[in-house]
Amino acid sequence: MVVPFPVGRRLRPTKRLDLVWLIFLVGIVALAGRLFVLQVLERDELRARAEAQQARRLTAVTPRRPIVDRRGEVLAVDQPVADLYVHPVQFQEPAARVAEKLSPLLGRPAPALVAQWGDQPTGIRAAEDVPESVARQIRALNLNGLELSPHYIRLYPQGRVGAEIVGFVNRDRQGQAGVEQTQAPQLKVPRPAVLIRQDAQAAPLSYDLPVGLLEQDETRLQLTLDLRLQREAQEALSQALGKFQAKRGAVLVMDAQDGSLLALVSEPAFDPNQFFKYPKEEHARFKNWAVLDLYEPGSTFKPINVAIALETGRVQANTVFYDEGRITVGGWPIQNFDFSTAGGNGSIDVTRILERSSNVGMVHIMDRLPRKLYYEWLQRLGFGQNLETDLSPVSPTSLKSPGEFINYPIEAATASFGQGLSLTPLKLVQLYAALANGGRLVYPHVVRGLVDFDGNLVKPPARPAPVAVFSPQTSRTVVDMLEKVVTQGTGKPARIPGYRVGGKTGTAQKAGATGGYIQGKITSFVAVFPIEKPRYVVLAVADEPQAGNAFGSTVTAPVVKTVLEALIALEQIPPAQP
C-alpha cells in the first residue's frame, strides 16, 4: 500500500498578500518611530555631535611677548624659524640633485644630506630651527617633497647677562625659571581660535574668523633691571670670586623708595640660549640663590638690631656699653673677631659698636630688650614668613621657635650679631631699604609691567603697600651710623671721594645642613647711598672664599664700591662735596 507524502496546507493567495503588507506596515511604523526619535527627541544631541565632528578649532602659534629692561634693551624675544622635512617619495628629480640645491642653504655637504635621508620614503627631518630668511630661499626653490613646519624659538640676545632674572623656556615653550616662569600669563599673547568646518574628507567647508585675530600685539614686558648696571655688577663679582676662589656670589641693587631691583646678579650664571648643554650636576645654576637660599647674615644684621633697640626706646644712640671683648652667655663663649689681637674695646657707644663690628657690644645692646619683645620684633620684620616678590618662589626666613629663643639666652645673644637666624640676600636688602627710606618695608620686584611700543605703561601690576616698621627718626639715626662705619670703621674700602656712603661689613660662619657650623664662611657688604638723601641699597655676598684674608671688607666691599661708581655714572649722581 502506498502512503502519500504529507504536504502542509498552502496559504491562499489573499492571506499571503496580507502577510507581506503586514510586514511592510510594521517596518514603516518602526522607521517612522526611529525617525521621530532621531529628528525630534534626539535632534539637539545629534546636531551637537555633527557640529563637533565637522568643526575644528585652530589656535595659531603666537610669539611670546618680548622682555626688555628699563631702557628698552631686549632681554628675550621670539624668532620665527621652521623645521625642514623631506619626503623623497615626492621628489621629481634625483635625491642627489635636491641635496645639491639644499646644501648651500643648510650649510651641509650634499652627500651628508643624501646619507641622512637614506632609504626612508617620507617624513625625514632634515634640519631644525631654520631661520626665516633661509626658509624663504628654500620655498623659492619650488621643489616637491620639501615641507617647512614654522614655529618660534626664544632668543636671549644678552646671553649670560640677566639670565638669573629672565630665566628660559624649554622646547615646549614653557617657562622654566625667572620671569619666563613667574610671568608666563603676562608673556602669553591672547589669540582667539579659528573655527573651521570640514566634511568627512577633512576638506574645509567654511571659516569663522573671530574679531581681533589679525590685530598686532606690540606690548612688551618691561623689567626694572638696568642692563648696563647688571653687566658692571656681574663683571665686578666674577673678578672677586675668581680672585678669592669663592664658590658662588650675588650682587643686588635696589631702589629703596619703591623696592624695584636695578640689578640682581647670581654667579655662577648660565646662558639661556644653551640651557640644554648644562649637565645635571650644574642645574643649580638655573636657581637664583640670591632669592632662594638662606644664609646667616652675620654682622650685616647688626644695624637692623640697632634699629630695633632704638625703636623700642631701650637704647639711645649715645648709650655707652662696656665691651670686654669676650663674654660667656648660657655657658657659651662669645668674642669679637679681633679679640685675640686687640682685646676688648672698653666703654663705647652704639655708633662705635657698629664701627668696630663688636659682637660683645651687640649682645649688651640687645640684652636691654626682653627676649619676648625681641622675638616679636623679628617676626614683625618678616622672620619665619614668606617674602612677597614677583621673582621666583622665595624661601621664608628662618627663626628659632618662640620657646627656644625666649628660654635660652644664647639664642638672642647670637641673633644680636646675625648668627642663629637665616634669610635670603633679597630679604636683607629689603630690611636695609627700610632704613634708607624712612622705615618702610617695600615690595621687592623686578617687573615694571606691560608697556606699549613707546614705553608707556599699559598694565601696571598690583603690588602690596609698604609696611611701616621703623620711625623716620630711627632710620635716619642708623643711616648716619652706617656712614661712620665707612669713614672710620670696617667699611673703609667702600669709600668714594666726594660721595657719602654708608655700609656694613659681614663675615659669618656657615651653618651646616644638619646643624652646627661647617668649614667655610660667607663674606658680605651692604651699602646705603647717598647718605644725604638715601636712595639705593647695594649688597654683595661671596660664599666660601678660599684665599687668605677673606673678609667682608676685602672680598665684597670693593665689589660694592665698583657698583656704586657705575651707578653714579649711569644715574649722573652729583657729589655731596667737592
Q: Which of 179, 188, 189 is nearest to 272 (CA)?
A: 179
* Rounded Cα gap, residues 500 and 487, in angstroms: 9
Q: Decide: helix, strand or coil at residue 254.
A: strand
* Rounded Cα gap, residues 255 and 259, in angstroms: 5
Write down the H helix ranges in 252-358: 289-292, 302-312, 339-342, 350-356
Contacts (Cβ under 8 Å, ≥6 apart) of 3: none
CA atoms within 13 A on the CB side of 88: 17
Contacts (Cβ under 8 Å, ≥6 apart) of 307: 435, 470, 474, 475, 478
* Rounded Cα gap, residues 111 and 159, in angstroms: 35
User: What is the sign of the dihedral through the CA atoms of 297, 300, 302 and 306?
Assistant: negative
Q: Which of 259, 299, 297, 225 is nearest to 436 (CA)?
A: 259
Q: Which of 386, 254, 391, 366 is nearest to 301 (CA)?
A: 366
Residue 299 annotated to the active site: yes
- The DSSP secondary-structure symbol of 386 reads P
**Residue 255 has which C-alpha cell?**
631702589
Other Cβ atoms within 10 Å of 173 Cβ, number: 18
Q: Decide: helix, strand or coil at residue 157.
A: coil
CA atoms within 13 A on the CB side of 572: 0
**Residue 17 has which C-alpha cell?**
498578500
- The DSSP secondary-structure symbol of 271 reads -
Largest Cα separation within the chain, whole Å, is 153
What size, in residues, is the chain?
Answer: 578
Q: Which of 223, 228, 260 is nearest to 429 (CA)?
A: 260
The residue written with cell numbers 634669610 in the block is: 423
- Contact, 138 vs 102, CB < 8 A? yes
- Contact, 570 vs 538, CB < 8 A? no
Q: Which of 566, 505, 513 is nearest to 540 (CA)?
A: 505
The C-alpha R_g of the chain, in whole angstroms, comes to 36
The residue written with cell numbers 526611529 in the block is: 34
Amino acid at 136: R
Angle in degrees, CA 28, 34, 36, rounded to 5: 100
Contacts (Cβ under 8 Å, ≥6 apart) of 409: 329, 330, 371
The one catalytic residue in 260, 266, 299, 422 is 299
Q: Is 570 exposed, middle or buried (0-12, 13-18, 19+ CB in 10 A)?
A: middle
Active site residues: 299
